[in-house]
């Protein structure tokens, strides 16, 4: 018996890296998994591994950036496994450049895959769940988004990626606030793990290499997948609107923007007076975490 027995889960970008790990761990916990990836061969390898281990999974190659095509993921889940309980938005790419060198194409590609990609399948899933709720059928559904430390605190050379991931964090808060009435929770994860995107950077590949001595593999993507499996399970029904950070054996909650007590004059500030007010605010603030790379 696994914590996801009877659950049907879509995982995007599941042909490798974190997505493949999520799919395999979810299946091992009893979920029926739709393995979505534009690379059919990669997705099929993940499905084959799941089936060989006694799990249930099917391949889906829909384009998550295409609103019409992404509906086919939801349709396939319902047609194959008679329902849908969770969407794990994982797919992502990198187009890293310093802001001064970034092109419009660099920006648009990241926004399409990350931000729009998080919208498309989730939108169709929500329509299905809302209809179920309105028909009087019980809904116990999950949206699990993927943000990043880059989106939470910024990252040098990744302004497009950081902006998209910050947008995903804000999207998660809105989804949680709006969709609870239908039995849907929304949470996000900010993972730190060994993936195709991290190992493409030589220094990171070296730092995140799997240990040869059989000790705890700190950067293994499966470390993050345990959190994803729990969030997809019925047991997490009371948790929504949270951003979880997962790295190695550590799970933490990322605290969001908060308003400080502020400085209130009780009247309009004259432009020349603002500097003193800002100085006082800065002296009282709790400093934010530093931008990655600074």
- 224: part of which helix (H) or strand (E)? helix 222-232
Rounded CA separation 111/125 (Å): 20
Residues 6+ apart with CB under 8 A from 177: 241
Phi, psi dihedral angles at 89 (to 5 degrees): -85, 105
Rounded CA separation 175/173 (Å): 6
Handedness of CA 254, 18, 26, 134 (dihedral sign): positive
Catalytic residue status for 67: no
Residues forming beta bridges with residue 142, ordered by sequence position: 86, 185
Here the tokens at position 35 are 């393995």
Rounded CA separation 74/81 (Å): 11
Helix (H, G, I), strand (E, B) or coil at 100: helix
Q: Kindly report the CA angle at 184 between 181 and 190, in degrees rounded to 5?
A: 130
Are 186 and 172 in contact, with CB atoms under 8 Å apart? yes
* Catalytic option among 32, 70, 128, 161: 161
Catalytic residue status for 32: no
* Catalytic option among 70, 116, 165, 236: 165
The sheet carrying 8-11 orders its strands as 56-60, 32-36, 8-11, 86-88, 141-146, 184-192, 243-247, 250-253
Q: Kindly report the CA angle at 48 between 7 and 128, in degrees rounded to 5?
A: 30
* Catalytic option among 62, 70, 122, 148: 148
Rounded CA separation 87/145 (Å): 8
Q: Give the residue numbers annotated as catalytic, written as ranges.
A: 148, 161, 165
């Amino acid at each position: 018996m696994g914590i996801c027995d009877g659950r049907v889960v879509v995982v995007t970008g599941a042909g490798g890296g974190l997505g493949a790990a999520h799919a395999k761990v979810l299946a091992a916990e009893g979920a029926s998994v739709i393995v979505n990836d534009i690379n059919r061969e990669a997705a099929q390898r993940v499905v084959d591994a799941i089936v060989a281990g006694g799990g249930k999974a099917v391949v889906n190659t829909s384009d998550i950036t295409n609103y019409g095509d992404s509906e086919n993921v939801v349709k396939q889940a319902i047609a194959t496994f008679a329902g849908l309980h969770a969407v794990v938005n994982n797919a992502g790419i990198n187009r890293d450049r310093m802001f001064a060198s970034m092109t419009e194409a660099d920006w648009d590609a990241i926004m399409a895959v990350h931000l729009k990609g998080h919208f498309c399948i989730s939108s169709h899933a929500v329509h299905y769940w809302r209809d179920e709720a309105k028909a009087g059928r019980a809904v116990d559904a999950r949206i699990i988004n993927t943000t990043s430390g880059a989106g939470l605190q910024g990252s040098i050379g990744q302004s497009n990626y950081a902006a998209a991931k910050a947008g995903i964090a804000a999207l998660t808060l809105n989804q949680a606030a709006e969709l609870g009435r239908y039995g849907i929770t929304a949470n996000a994860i900010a993972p730190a793990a060994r993936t195709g995107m991290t190992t493409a950077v030589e220094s990171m590949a070296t730092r995140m290499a799997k240990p040869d001595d059989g000790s705890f593999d700190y950067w293994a993507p499966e470390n993050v997948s345990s959190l994803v499996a729990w969030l997809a399970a019925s047991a997490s029904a009371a948790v929504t609107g949270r951003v979880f950070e997962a790295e190695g054996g550590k799970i933490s909650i990322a605290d969001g923007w908060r308003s400080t007590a502020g400085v209130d004059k009780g009247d309009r500030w004259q432009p020349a007076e603002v500097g003193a007010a800002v100085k006082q605010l800065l002296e009282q603030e709790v400093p934010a975490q530093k931008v990655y790379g600074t």
